[in-house]
Each structure stands twice: as structure tokens, then as C-alpha cells.
Amino acid sequence: MTIRPLFDKVVVKQTNTEEKTKSGFILPTSAQEKQQTATVVAVGPGGIIDGKEITMQVKPGDVVLYAKYSGSDFKVDGQEFTIIRQSDILAIVE
């Protein structure tokens, strides 16, 4: 199944990172804060939204930083995705 976002929405998948404490313990994913770095999976077409022309600035494969409490989390075919607005993306990591 594929996800095709609408308007200015962007589908991202969290980058998996193990986080260690200073003493060397590995924290399980459930104990970590929500990651703010993700890989773009799909991008909506943009267009006129709220009377403004929106041109999409990201493309699939980009690694992005996004606002901490933005987006909605979904599980599709056993994989977790987050759908956010392009305006919630703060930067592209190069």
C-alpha cells in the first residue's frame, strides 16, 4: 500500500537511532523522546492553500528536521509514519 498525501502534506518516516545514556545504557525507543529527524517518503502536490500558492520544497529521500509536536502518527502495513504540513518542516539536513 502506498500513501499519497494531499495539498501541502508530507509523509515522513522516523530515523531509527539508539540513544545511550552517559553511563552507556541503551534506552529503548519507548523511553526516548519523539525524534524530530525523519526521511521524507512522499510529498503532496502543493497548490493554492488558504489563498496562497504553495510550492513544495522537499522531495522523497530528503532528511528533514521538523517541529516537535507537529503531525499525526499512523501505522500502515506495520510501519509507522508521520504526516506533517510542509510549514512544520524547519530544515533539510544535507
User: pLDDT of 60-92, one tens digit each?
Assistant: 999 999 988 889 999 999 999 999 999 999 999
Residue 68 sits in which domain range? 9-16+31-93
Q: Is residue 89 part of a domain?
A: yes
Q: State the DSSP code for 32.
A: S
Q: What is the sign of the dihedral through the CA atoms of 71, 3, 52 and 66?
A: positive
Mean pLDDT score of the chain, rounded to an integer?
86
pLDDT tens string 12-21: 998 765 566 6
pLDDT tens string 53-62: 999 999 999 9
What is the identity of the amino acid at 43? Answer: V
Q: Is residue 41 part of a domain?
A: yes
Q: Is residue 44 part of a domain?
A: yes
> Are 38 and 31 spatial neighbours (Cβ–Cβ below 8 Å)?
no
CATH code where residue 41 lies: 2.30.33.40
Residue (of 78, 68, 54, 65) closest to 5 by Cα position = 54
Residue 43 in this model has a pLDDT that exceeds 60: yes
Residue 45 in this model has a pLDDT that exceeds 60: yes
Please give the average per-residue pLDDT across 37-64, as a whole number: 94
pTM of the model: 0.79
Q: Is residue 26 part of a domain?
A: no
Tell me the three cell numbers of residue 79: 510501519
Q: Is residue 68 part of a domain?
A: yes
| Domains: count for the chain | 1
- Alpha carbon of 17 to those of 3, 20, 34, 49, 72: distances in Å? 24, 10, 11, 35, 20
Q: Is residue 24 part of a domain?
A: no
